[in-house]
Chain A
Amino acid sequence: MRRAAPAVWQAVRNRSLTANTMPSIAEPATQPVIKQRPRSDDDLAPTFYVVCWNDPVNLMVYVTHVFMKIFGWNKQKAEKHMLEVHEKGKSVLTREGAEKAEFYVHELQKYKLHATMEPAE
C-alpha cells in the first residue's frame, strides 16, 4: 500500500515545478469529481435468503433434480446444496429481493420441498 507524500515533499515538488523554465503540463487545479451511482430503490429494498429445510421424505435424487431445474445449476452445485440440506438441516440457496425470493419459494413448494424466504440482515 502506498503512503501519502509528506507535506514537505509536496512543497519541494511545487518549488521545482515553478523554477523549471521548460514548458510543463500543469497539474489540474481541480480534481476530477467521481460521480457516485445514484442509489436505486433496489439498493434500499430488503433482501431475503431462500432457504431449503431438511425433511426425511423427499428423495435426495429428487431434491437435486429440483434445484437443477429451478436454479439452472449443474449437478455438482445442486448436489452440494442437497447434501447441505441433508447434513446440516438447511441450505441457503440464494439471496434475492422480495419478489424473486417469493417466486423461488413458490416454485420449490410446487415440488413439495420445504422452502421459505427469511429476511437477510
Chain B
Amino acid sequence: MKLVKEANAVCLYQMDPQEAAMLQGLVKNFPFTAMQEGEISRTEATPEALERDKLLNESLVEYRESLTTLAAQLVAPERFKPQAKGVVMTISAEEREQLLQILNDIRVGCWNALGQPASLEPPASGATDQEHKYFALLNLAGYFEHSLLVGES
C-alpha cells in the first residue's frame, strides 16, 4: 500500500486487493480490545487532578464510540476502486486521521492485552492462540499506519 496522490486534502492510496481486504477486515471489526483508562497526571493527586482524570476518561470513551461508528464508513467498498495496478482507496485528510487513530487504538490495545511487553518480539512457543492473534493484529495495524504516513506531505 502506498500514497499515489495527495491534493486538496484528498489522498489516494494504491494497494493489492489482498491488502484492501485485510484493511477492511481489520477496521470493520474495530474494537478488538477493551478500552484502557488514561491518566491525566503522573505526579498530581489533587481533587482537581482526579476530576480531570474523570473528564479525560469520559471524553476518551465518547471519542472511541464515535470512531467505532465511523469505522465501517472509512473502509466502505465504494472507497476502493479497481485499477490496472490493484485497488485505489480514496480518503480525505480528516478521514485519514480517524483511520490512523483506529489503527493505533488496535495496535496499542493489543499491546496492552499482551501485558505491555517492553519488546515487540513474537510470543514465546507456549503462548495462547489469543496472544498470537493480538500480536498479529498489532503488527498488521502498524503496517497500515506506516503505509498511511510514508510519503505524506
A42 to B55, CA, bound (A): 23
Say yes or no: B146 contacts A59, CB within 8 Å: yes
If over half of A's interface residues share one DSSP class (helix, strand or loop), that class is named, otherwise mixed; here it is mixed
Contact (A61, B108) CB under 8 Å given A56-B117, A119-B44:
no
When each residue 89-121 of chain A gets 1 if its CB lies under 8 Å from chain B and 0 otherwise, what string results?
000000000100010011001111000111100
Interface residues of B (CB under 8 A from A): 38-44, 48, 52, 55-56, 59-60, 63, 97, 100-101, 104-105, 107-108, 111, 116-120, 138, 142, 145-146, 149-150, 152
Contact (A116, B108) CB under 8 Å given A56-B120, A109-B60, A110-B101:
no
Say yes or no: B152 contacts A106, CB within 8 Å: no
Say yes or no: B107 contacts A57, CB within 8 Å: yes
Number of A-B contacts (CB under 8 A): 74
Interface residues on chain A, number (Cβ under 8 Å): 23
Say yes or no: A112 contacts B40, CB within 8 Å: no
Q: Quick one: which of B44, B97, B104 contacts A69, CB cutoff 8 A?
A: B97
Instruction: List, in ascending order, chain B residues with CB within 8 A of A116's CB.
Output: 39-42
Q: Does A58 lie at the interface of the complex (its beta carbon under 8 Å from any beta carbon of B)?
A: yes
In the complex, residue of chain A having the shortest beta-carbon distance to the beta carbon of B67: A110
Say yes or no: A62 contacts B149, CB within 8 Å: yes
